[in-house]
Amino acid sequence: MLKKKGSEQLDIIFEAGEDLLNISKNQVIMIKNNSIKLPIIRPRTFLSYSLEFCGITNLNYKMLRFQSLGRDIRPETSIMTSCLVKVIHTTEFSQMSQNPLKTSFQTLFNHGFHSDVLLQINDEQPLLLHKCILACRSPKFNGMFSSNMIECNQSLVKVEYKKPDLFKVMLQWIYCGYWKEFPVEIEDTCDLMLLADEYLICDLKQKCEEDIISKLNSNNILQILLFVEKHSNIISSMLLEKTNSMFIDDFDKIHKLNSDLEKEINKVPEFTSTENQKRQKSAFCS
């Protein structure tokens, strides 16, 4: 959020972080970096301002994400000072884009026309899939089908995974480059990100990281901080920076929500440096 401007007019500035479209009209409403200012006359929730913005632009509120300093803004946030809001489309919006190839590949995934491999997850009903699609989208599958591994000569491939539904999400992403809904639980998104890393599907891994960042809050930040530390070798610098930044900024609130916070953060080297130990000690003693 920006600082107060003294006696100057306070504004909430909605700036397009990308070209914003009205999909029903197939029309660009706001070009990237263009902005709209709304005056702040009295304290209102961000939801009120964002709906007003959508009313002015004729953009669909449900198809937009509103961010400040790289974080999604909560609808209930009270706006009392000037602020700059970046507006981008949600992942769901891109899924709605008309793409005949996407539709065709979705049909292949759903119905298995001309399939040449059966993939069985745990003991579930085998899925009718296509080696060429799996191989071109996932280097791991490519290795399985082009080497001397047993899967190369078998029409039935068996995999074991603790969450079969997440594995199917990954398969749909392989075919179509999207899924209907992100997992609701952030823990599932973390598991899906690890699965994407295992199968070397970079675009899915990136989407998972973006979803994790959008869901970060004081209630789950400690969980994600520990996840990031445990898997630091595959985590992007963006996710690392966002997690660390939120932890430091919301430390007091996080401390109140987690009685074992001191014990937990001692597992994270990033927060056991001399400088941070002083900060923690001061917070825990206050």
Asked, for residue 130, whether it belongs to a domain, the answer is yes
Asked, for residue 207, whether it belongs to a domain, the answer is no
**Predicted confidence (pLDDT) at residue 179 exceeds the cutoff of 50:** yes
Q: What CATH number does residue 140 fall under?
A: 3.30.710.10
Residues 89 and 115 in one domain: no
Asked, for residue 206, whether it belongs to a domain, the answer is no
**Predicted confidence (pLDDT) at residue 244 exceeds the cutoff of 50:** yes
In this predicted structure, what is the pLDDT of residue 184?
83
Burial of residue 68 (number of CB atoms within 10 Å: 0-12, 13-18, 19+): middle
15 closest CA partner among 111, 121, 87, 98? 87
Residues 92 and 168 in one domain: no
Distance between alpha carbon 11 and the CA centroid of its chain, in Å? 29
62 closest CA partner among 96, 19, 28, 11? 96
Residues 81 and 167 in one domain: no
96, 111, 129 - which closes a domain: 96
Instruction: Using CA atoms of 271, 277, 280, 281 in order, give the dihedral in degrees to the nearest 10.
Output: 160
Asked, for residue 209, whether it belongs to a domain, the answer is no
Residues 105 and 191 in one domain: yes
In this predicted structure, what is the pLDDT of residue 94?
63
Q: Which residue has the tokens 């399985």?
A: 144
SS3 276: helix
The pair of three-digit structure tokens given for residue 179, joined into one six-digit string? 């899924």
Residues 91 and 138 in one domain: no
Cβ neighbours for 156, distance < 8 A, ≥ 6 positions apart? 117, 118, 119, 120, 126
96, 122, 146 - which closes a domain: 96
Pairwise pLDDT comparison (201 vs 28), residue with the higher score: 201
**Predicted confidence (pLDDT) at residue 148 exceeds the cutoff of 70:** no
Condensed to tens digits (0 to 9), the pLDDT of residues 59-73 reads 988 889 999 988 899
Give the up-direction half-sphere exposure of residue 164: CA atoms within 13 A in the CB hemisphere: 12
Pairwise pLDDT comparison (35 vs 273), residue with the higher score: 35
Asked, for residue 219, whether it belongs to a domain, the answer is no
Locate the DSSP E strands across 40-188: 44-45, 64-68, 71-72, 78-79, 83-89, 117-121, 127-129, 156-159
Cβ neighbours for 242, distance < 8 A, ≥ 6 positions apart? 70, 71, 213, 216
Q: What CATH number does residue 40 fall under?
A: 3.10.20.90
Residues 131 and 86 in one domain: no
Residues 126 and 180 in one domain: yes
Question: What is the rounded distance in angstroms from the CA atom of residue 47 to the CA atom of residue 127?
Answer: 43
Question: What is the rounded distance in angstroms from the CA atom of residue 217 to the CA atom of residue 232?
Answer: 20
The domain of 75 spans 11-96
Question: What is the rounded distance in angstroms from the CA atom of residue 50 to the CA atom of residue 239?
Answer: 26
Q: What domain count does the chain have? A: 3
Q: How far is CA 228 from CA 69, 235, 242, 247, in A?
A: 21, 7, 11, 12
Question: What is the rounded distance in angstroms from the CA atom of residue 23 to the CA atom of residue 21?
Answer: 6
Asked, for residue 211, whether it belongs to a domain, the answer is no
47, 64, 96 - which closes a domain: 96
Condensed to tens digits (0 to 9), the pLDDT of residues 82-131 reads 899 999 998 767 655 556 677 788 889 989 999 999 999 999 999 999 99
Asked, for residue 215, whether it belongs to a domain, the answer is no
Residues 88 and 116 in one domain: no
Instruction: Tell me what the pLDDT averaged over the chain comes to.
Output: 82
Residues 77 and 135 in one domain: no
Residue 148: count of CB within 10 angstroms of its CB: 6
Residues 81 and 141 in one domain: no
Residues 15 and 76 in one domain: yes
Distance between alpha carbon 175 and the CA centroid of its chain, in Å? 19
Across 178-217, b (16+ Cβ under 10 Å) vs e yields: bbeebbeebebbbbbbbbbbebebeebbebbbbbbbbbbe
Residues 106 and 193 in one domain: yes
Asked, for residue 157, whether it belongs to a domain, the answer is yes
